Amino acid sequence: MALKRVWTISMFKHSRFTKTNVPNNKRSLQHPDSMQPVSKRSKGSQLDDSRWEAELPTLPNVNWLDGKSKKCIWFEKPEGCKYGKKCINTHVVSPDFSVSPNIRQEEREQIFDKKYIHTKELVDLAGRRWYTAAFYNISEHFIVYAQRGYSSRRNSQGIYLYPSREEAITALEMAVYASAHVLVGRQRLAPTQQSHTKKSVTGNTKLFRKVVNANLSNVFIKIFPGQHLPKTAWHTSCSDEGLYTANFHSPAIQEKGAIYRSSENGGKYENGLWWYRDERSAKASAFVQFLKKAAANGLVSRNMTKAINGNTLM
């Protein structure tokens, strides 16, 4: 006699919010069904969502991370937000999976920074555990929620839930990559920084040129006497077009491993990163961010040209 499996209609029992590190054993990001909407997935790859919607737990707020900051309503409009990334409110991004971003492996860790990952665990009355994830870049003021994925289930609110935290984070990673050009195309960057057509932009040109021509090791020592700047503090990447981007891992004890990335100083913005024609400019752009932080902490003058003891930096 054939047995019929009976599913218990379950309701939301409880949820727990956690900040999560990236799992080391993530599933492949190239699964053929992982980027397809539910209606277009191959037969057998997805259970009937209409049944699962009634059983999956729900959340008090669909955008469950929005409560940590005020949501920008202008970003969702066709014209986008005129303040760009300088907006004091948070931009909630809807990924565009129709575009396959060409992101090099070494760039992925820079874009999908694990410190911005948050997960939420839900347990239904049947004892099943479900997970969802979100990427909240505090410094850039934008949020991306996990969407789609081979093992995803959508509840009645349209929230994508996953049977494991690892699968939720894997889906989130693809969503973040699919959001890179959306952030630019919807005026996520300030008007003078638009680079959807890969136009060059200009930041603080005078300071930037000084940094390009300066001995950065000497500048660092003037800010942090008794400490030195090793070559290993620099991590650079070169694109297929011959452009460079850089990360500066500050060795200063006081900074506790702070990382500064190339930013807007005459470079090109593409796939969530700023690129420069030469490695020295890419490094200088990252070092400018380091100087800005030093100025904010009172370690250098406001114009970032002198140390606190009055000595000229460059």
Residues 260 and 179 in one domain: no
Cβ-contact 250, 208 below 8 angstroms? no
- In angstroms, how far apart are the furthest CA atoms of the chain? 89
Identity at 142, one-letter amino acid code: F
Q: Distance (Å, rounded) from C-alpha 142 to C-alpha 76?
A: 12
Both 76 and 171 in a single domain?
A: yes
- Which domain does 270 fall in, by range? 205-296
- Residue 288 counted as domain residue: yes
> Is the same domain home to 128 and 46?
yes
Task: Quote the percentage of the chain above a pLDDT of 90.
Answer: 23
pLDDT for residue 8 is more than 50: no
Confidence of residue 219 (pLDDT cuts 50, 70, 90): very high
**How many other CB atoms are there within 10 angstroms of residue 71's CB atom?**
15
Residue 97 and residue 209 in one domain = no
Choose between 268 and 14: higher pLDDT.
Answer: 268
> Are 67 and 140 members of one domain?
yes
The whole-number pLDDT of residue 100 equals: 57
The band of 101, judged by pLDDT with boundaries at 50, 70 and 90, is: low
Beta strands 117-124 and 129-137, pairing class: antiparallel
In a domain, 7, yes or no: no
Residue 243 reports pLDDT greater than 60: yes
> With 60 as the cut, is the pLDDT of residue 270 above it?
yes
175 and 26: one domain? yes
DSSP the chain: -PPPP-PPP--EEEEEEEE-PPPSSPPPTT-TTTTS-GGGSPTTSS--HHHHHHHS---S-SSTTGGGS-B-SGGGSTT--TTGGG-SSBEEE---TTS-----HHHHHHHS-GGGEEEEEEEETT--EEEEEEEEETTTTEEEE----TT-EE-TTS-EEBSSHHHHHHHHHHHHHTTHHHHHHTT-S-GGG--TT-----SSHHHHHHHHHS-HHHHHHHHSTT----GGGEEEEE-TTS-EEEEEE---GGGTS-EEE--SSS-EEETTEEEBSSHHHHHHHHHHHHHHHHHHTTSB-TTSSBBTTS-B--
96 and 209, same domain (yes or no): no
Residues whose CB is less than 8 angstroms from the CB of residue 41 and which lie 6 or more positions away in sequence, other chains included? 33
Q: How far apart are the first and last CA of the chain?
A: 85
Taking only Cα atoms into account, the Rg of the chain, rounded to an integer number of angstroms, comes to 23
Q: What is the pLDDT of residue 194?
A: 38
Assess if residue 32 is contained within a domain: yes
Share of the chain above pLDDT 70, in %: 69
Are 117 and 23 members of one domain? yes
Residue 85 counted as domain residue: yes
Residue that is last in its domain, among 190, 215, 235: 190
Place of tokens 């790859």: 45
Asked whether residue 4 is domain-assigned, the answer is no
pLDDT at 70 > cutoff 90: no
Question: What per-residue confidence (pLDDT) applies to 118?
Answer: 93
Residue 210 domain-assigned? yes
**Are 87 and 234 part of one and the same domain?**
no
186 and 290 housed in the same domain: no
- Residue 100 corresponds to which amino acid? S
The confidence band for 272, taking pLDDT boundaries of 50, 70 and 90, is: low
In angstroms, the CA 238 to CA 245 distance is: 7
Do 83 and 216 lie in a common domain? no
Q: Which residues contact 199 (CB under 8 A, 6 or more apart)?
A: 268
Beta strand 12-19 with 273-275 is: unpaired
Q: Which of 60-69, 96-105, 128-137 has the highest mean pLDDT?
A: 128-137
Residues 32 and 172 both lie in one domain: yes
Over the range 262-292, which residues count as b (16 or more CB within 10 Å of their CB) and which as e? Answer: bbbbbbbbbbbbbbbeebbbbbbbbbbbbbb
Please give the tally of structural domains in the chain.
2
Answer yes or no: is 225 within a domain: yes
55 within some domain: yes
Structure tokens at 217: 């090791």
User: At 119, is the pLDDT very low, low, confident or very high (cuts 50, 70, 90)?
Assistant: very high
* Rounded-to-10 torsion of CA 240, 243, 249, 255: -140
